[in-house]
């Protein structure tokens, strides 16, 4: 039995490493970028979403209310546009990450010698997307995420696996988009940063082994962000007492 479970785990893990962008239902587009100030600077968000749709993806802005079928954030890709510093040339490339911040795909770098920012960004972004068009994206119907070593898209003989070997996915709390204090999650290298509508970084999250719990840092205070009762709570100790603050988050 142990050997059989071990082989199943190896098989599933191998599949997990071979995931592609075709295993994700849609893409989330940011409304701001590290190399440019403001919301949708130089229409970068608009151009990115338009190119994604042209490439065959379903795409949503990060502050949009998603349809119910996209409620599992780990079924989605999170796109970002990066800029390479270069003299007299604008260079952009597109990066796709999963819900844990792992890079799934990186495009070729697009270049432009245009002097005006918006024109340069448009040309270099369009060039970067040429390689993405070449991927011929089409949703495979699979679920990309592996939870505790078990891939949900693999049919496994459950009689050969004990009940304790399979972890149950935790449902992500549904954000209340009407909440004026709603924070938006942007993927980072090790987790997320939560921004308000300003936009201003309010909290930083570091991923843990659990999809419903993060190490959280807010105003220099370190605690945890936990999903409970279909809501997120920032919990920390203050004067030896546990403080629990409800936080509305849109992942």
Peptide bond into 242 cis (omega under 30): no
Is beta strand 90-97 parallel, antiparallel or unpaired with respect to 110-112?
antiparallel
The pLDDT > 90 percentage for the chain reads 44
- Whether 72 has a pLDDT exceeding 90, the answer reads no
* Buried/exposed 66-100: b ≥16 CB within 10 Å, e otherwise: beeeeebbbbbbbbbbbbeeeeeebbbbbbbbbbe
- Whether 4 has a pLDDT exceeding 90, the answer reads no
Helices 44-54, 117-133: axis angle to 10 degrees equals 20
Within a 10 A sphere around the Cβ of 164, how many other Cβ atoms?
A: 6
- Whether 5 has a pLDDT exceeding 50, the answer reads no
- Which residues are 72's β-sheet partners? none
Dist. CA 72–CA 170, nearest whole Å: 10
Query: Residue 199 is encoded by which pair of tokens?
Result: 């936009």
Does residue 132 contact residue 55 with C-beta atoms inside 8 Å?
A: yes
8 CB-side CA count, 13 A:
20
User: pTM (2 decimals)?
Assistant: 0.55
Average pLDDT, rounded, for the chain: 81
DSSP the chain: -HHHHHHHHHHHHHHHHT--GGG-SEEEE-S-BTTB-SSSGGGHHHHHHHHHHHTT--EEETTSPPPGGG--GGGEEEEEEEEE--TT-EEEEEEEE-TTS-EEEEPPPEEE--SSHHHHHHHHHHHHHHHHHTT-----S----EETTEETTS---GGGS-GGGSPPPPPPPPP-TT-TT-EEEEE-SSEEEEE-SS--EEEEEEE-SSTTEEEEEETTEEEEEEEETTEEEEEEEETTEEEEEEE-EE-
Confidence of residue 230 (pLDDT cuts 50, 70, 90): confident
> For the chain, what are the domain ranges?
20-133, 183-250
Any idea which fold 20-133 has? Answer: Rossmann fold (3.40.50)
54-71 pLDDT per residue, tens: 999 999 998 888 888 888
- Whether 99 has a pLDDT exceeding 60, the answer reads yes
Among candidates 251, 214, 209, which has minimal Cα distance to 236? Answer: 214
Confidence of residue 80 (pLDDT cuts 50, 70, 90): very high
């Amino acid at each position: 039995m142990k050997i059989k479970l071990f082989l199943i785990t190896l098989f599933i893990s191998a599949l997990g490493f071979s995931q592609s962008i075709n295993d994700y239902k849609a893409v989330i587009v940011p409304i701001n970028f590290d190399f440019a100030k403001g919301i949708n600077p130089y229409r970068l968000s608009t151009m990115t979403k338009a190119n994604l749709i042209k490439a065959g993806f379903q795409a949503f802005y990060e502050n949009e209310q998603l349809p119910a079928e996209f409620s599992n954030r780990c079924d989605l890709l999170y796109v970002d546009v990066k800029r390479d510093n270069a003299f007299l040339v604008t260079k952009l490339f597109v990066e796709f990450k999963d819900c844990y911040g792992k890079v799934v795909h990186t495009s070729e770098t697009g270049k432009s010698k245009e002097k005006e920012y918006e024109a340069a960004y448009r040309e270099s972004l369009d060039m970067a997307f040429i390689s993405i068009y070449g991927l011929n994206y089409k949703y495979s119907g699979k679920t990309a995420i592996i939870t505790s070593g078990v891939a949900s898209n693999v049919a496994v003989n459950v009689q050969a696996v004990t009940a304790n070997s399979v972890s149950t996915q935790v449902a992500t709390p549904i954000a209340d988009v009407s909440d004026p204090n709603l924070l938006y999650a942007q993927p980072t290298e090790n987790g997320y940063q939560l921004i308000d509508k300003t936009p201003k970084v309010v909290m930083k999250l570091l991923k843990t082994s659990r999809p419903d719990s993060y190490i959280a840092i807010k105003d220099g205070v370190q605690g945890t962000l936990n999903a409970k009762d279909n809501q997120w709570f920032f919990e920390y100790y203050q004067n030896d007492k546990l403080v629990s603050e409800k936080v509305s988050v849109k992942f």
